[in-house]
Amino acid sequence: MISSPPDGRAGIDAALVRRLIAAQFPQWSGLPVTPVEVDGWDNRTYRLGAEMTVRLPTAPGYVAAVAKENHWLPRLAPFLPVAVPPVLAAGAPGEGYPFPWSVRGWLPGETASPDRIDDLSVFAVEVGGFLRSLRQCETTGGPLAGAHSWYRGASPAHYDEETRRCLAALRGRVDTERLSAVWSAALDAEWHGEPVWFHGDIASGNLLVADGRLTAVLDFGTAGVGDPACDLVIAWHLFSGASRDAFRRTVDQDPACWARARGWAVWKALLVLSECVDTDRERATEQRRVLQEVLTDYERSQGRSAG
């Protein structure tokens, strides 16, 4: 039996990728292998020549995404307004690496950030339009939300215990009473709609821009079929004011969906804050900002002014 690489990510390097390519796809063995400039946590990604990438999951929990993306990305791509990763080949465990992996086409662009976006409201409409197109894709046979999506697309209630544990740990350091109200409202706003496609991790690092415009959406590892509320969290991370309003209009979701989305945002921000509140001031400050944005939005939804 092949054991997992030591420390997950640490067992994956360019030398391993070169061995895997040479053994399984020798036609590409002469191409250079280099790390990408911005990498993720769930997967390690390497450039393979100028036109391809190699993507390798870092731990067992991320393995299910490989076959899911390989199967569904080619089927979703024709119906989406911007590019998604082209799947070129499926790799198998080998060379001491225990998981399936994949070869993708390289998508040019830079990860989204306000300094790379000409008009944030226009960009909000582009992201919202992508989500609307994704929701309209055929769902027959699609993977229902569950463990493979880390329960994105399911009820935020899956993370109720974790959220309440974070609230208790952060008592006196955040407004736990008001945040508890946001969380309770998210749980009360149960989803009763027809399952639709969701991405599961619409965040700046998974959005590519060129010339200030959205050009591609990456990383469908948490994608599936279910409740799309989890895809709205970017409203409080990247957008504000007019751009958030533009995003809200474009995605065209009902108040209950937004209530659940606030819950998703609160869960993740509390979780990250509880891990970094005493060790990473910059990261903690960003999570506090997100929580305050969500609180303000919640108070407005209730017809009250946030204090």
pTM: 0.93
**Euclidean distance between CA atoms 210 and 138, whole angstroms:** 29
Which has the closest alpha carbon to 212: 92, 122, 91? 122
Q: Decide if pLDDT at 124 tops 60.
A: yes
For 127-182, write each residue's pLDDT tens digit: 999 999 999 999 999 999 999 999 999 999 999 999 999 999 999 999 999 999 99
Crossing angle for the helix pair 241-251 and 120-135, nearest 10 degrees? 20
Crossing angle for the helix pair 255-276 and 160-169, nearest 10 degrees? 50
Which has the closest alpha carbon to 142: 195, 204, 217, 83? 195
Percent of the chain at pLDDT above 90? 92
**CATH (one of 3.40.640.10, 3.30.70.3270, 3.40.50.720, 3.30.200.20) for 8-107:** 3.30.200.20
- In the prediction, which pLDDT does 17 show? 97
**Euclidean distance between CA atoms 267 and 167, whole angstroms:** 9
**Euclidean distance between CA atoms 102 and 247, whole angstroms:** 33
- In the prediction, which pLDDT does 53 show? 97
- Going by pLDDT thresholds of 50, 70 and 90, the confidence category of residue 286 is very high
Q: What's domain 111-301's superfamily in CATH? A: Aminoglycoside phosphotransferase (APH), C-terminal lobe (3.90.1200.10)
Please answer whether residues 199 and 232 qualify as being in contact, where contact means their C-beta atoms are separated by less than 8 angstroms: no
Q: Decide if pLDDT at 307 tops 80.
A: no
Domain boundaries, the chain: 8-107, 111-301
Please answer whether residues 115 and 233 qualify as being in contact, where contact means their C-beta atoms are separated by less than 8 angstroms: no
Average pLDDT across the chain, whole number: 94
For 90-112, write each residue's pLDDT tens digit: 999 999 999 999 999 999 999 99
Identical fold between 8-107 and 111-301: no
Q: Decide if pLDDT at 6 tops 70.
A: no
